[in-house]
Amino acid sequence: MRNLVLERLGKFDFPAVLILALLMRLVGINSRPLWYDEAFAVLFSERGPGAMYYGTLAQTGGISADIHPLAYYLALFGWIKTFGDSPVAVRLLSIAFGMGVILIAYGLGKLLVDHSTGMWIALLTAISPFQIHYAQEIRMYAMLTFFLLLACVAFWKGAKGGKPAWWLLFAVSAALAQYTHNLAAIFLLPLAATPLAFKPVRNSLRNVILAGLGALLLYLPWVLLLPGQLAKVQRSYWISPPDFSRLLTTILSFTTNLPIPVGWLPLALLASLLTLFIAIFQTVKAIRKGGTYLQPGVWMAYMALTPVVLLFIISRFYPVYIERALLPSGVLYLAWVAWSLANTRLLRPVQYFVLVILALGMGMGYIQHLTYQGFPYAAYTDLARELRAQSGAGDLILHSNKLTMLPTVYYDRTLPQEYLTDPPGSGSDTLALPTQEALGLMALPSVESIGTSKVRVWFVIFQRAIKEYQGLGYETHPHLAWLNEHYSLERIETWGDLLVYVYKR
């Protein structure tokens, strides 16, 4: 018998869940400065379609300049033209897609199980720190999740005997997901294999094949360009092959998001592992003894875990494992948890305990999300304002690399700023020359190229960059060593994880 409390909570008005989700996504969108990836997205999108195309697909040494398709950047270009480029304005695009994710998550739960389960899936998605984080970030991941979940709904509508238009929607949404992020295939392949794994929908295999061919046809123009982007990932990208600990961090991300303070980690692990254990245990028990809506629950588990395993296996040979690309699986994971709590005859005390632990874990993750200001975040707004007030004629603001340059440029486009190129061939050497040209921000080849004639040099660097070199046996960062030799150090300013070394001639 299903828990009466769960059923009552499941009957909360859906608009109330949407309001809660919107409020949780609006909190803090103007208080956290943009970091490098977000600043890149805005500065790149503002340049327009032609520059974006060149900055992505121009060849350097036989590989493409950048690794991402252009759907999100094109959407952001149109959004900026309409609403402007303030932090609030540009983050609202991701929030819009994030709200769409909740709508689709509810619809999928209602379609596969019932209204009550759909409400629980929507509620867990609404308060998930992992989903909230990327619903605020100025990147393509909320958009990716939206289109992949839309493909799920279209698949099940078509499989349940819906109109052919649902298979057309499946093809279009799958193609749009691939135009949003190249790793969409990690989710789409298990989804397309559903008729092979689940007998009740095996008669949909023909329609899935036809719709998949349609999606491939729509995606064909970019498929021809894909080898150059994949070569870029292989040759110069910062991701290392994952070990098995990444599977644990993925489950933590799905439940509480990361990073988590060390003192909170035991409770975060308890919430994550207990939730996973209950979901697995109840699913196995339901398979053995039969249960309500067994097939939807098993399918949710399949779509939550299979993309994770598939991405892990691929990344052992071709490192592309990033948790944020698994955001759609994170929604299906929460759907699976909701199903296991509400539809598997789980004892009432256990239900209460899991819900409390889950709420505590998500609460910790949300607080951490709102308060975290460590790397790669920094007080770029205040820094740009202070540099504007203190720098003068003959001064140079020099950034150790692109990570601090682009956010500072976003907050003040008129400051006399330069940045140094990444070590060629290193994992951080990701901003190719054509992309720099598209941005209109060319890197200096070396610190020596600034010369010794500047009145003052404001050198901006993350503390961790210095520590990395010290860990390799250097006394300090090579850029600092040269500046110490050719300029006089006046003072050091601390801006959170950022240091600003002020040198005078």
> What is the 3-state composition of the chain as percent helix, strand, coil, each rounded to the nearest 5?
70, 5, 25
Helix 129-136 and helix 14-26: axis angle, to 10°? 60
- Backbone phi and psi for residue 200, each to the nearest 5 degrees, phi listed first: -60, -20
Q: 64 has which bridge partners?
A: 59
Q: Can you read off the two tokens belonging to residue 500?
A: 């600003």
- CA torsion sign, 485 to 489 to 494 to 500? negative
Q: What is the DSSP pairing of strand 456-462 with strand 395-399?
A: parallel
Which domains, and CATH codes, for the chain?
Answer: 4-371 (no CATH), 380-504 (3.40.50)
d(CA 194, CA 185): 14
Region of 186 on the Ramachandran plot (φ > 0 left; ψ -120 to 50 alpha; else beta): alpha
CA dihedral 374, 380, 381, 386 (to 10 degrees): 120
Stretches in the chain below the pLDDT threshold 70: 1-12, 236-238, 291-292, 425-427
d(CA 74, CA 89): 15
Helix (H) or strand (E) holding 492: strand 488-495
Q: What angle do CA 34, 38, 41 make, to 5 degrees?
A: 140
pLDDT at site 1: 36
CA 425 to chain CA centroid, Å, is: 25
CA 361 to chain CA centroid, Å, is: 20
Name residue 326's amino acid: L
d(CA 349, CA 315): 40
In DSSP notation, 330-387 reads HHHHHHHHHHHHHSS---HHHHHHHHHHHHHHHHHHHHHHHH---TT---HHHHHHHH
- Backbone phi and psi for residue 11, each to the nearest 5 degrees, phi listed first: -95, 5
pLDDT at site 289: 85
Q: What SS3 class is residue 240?
A: coil
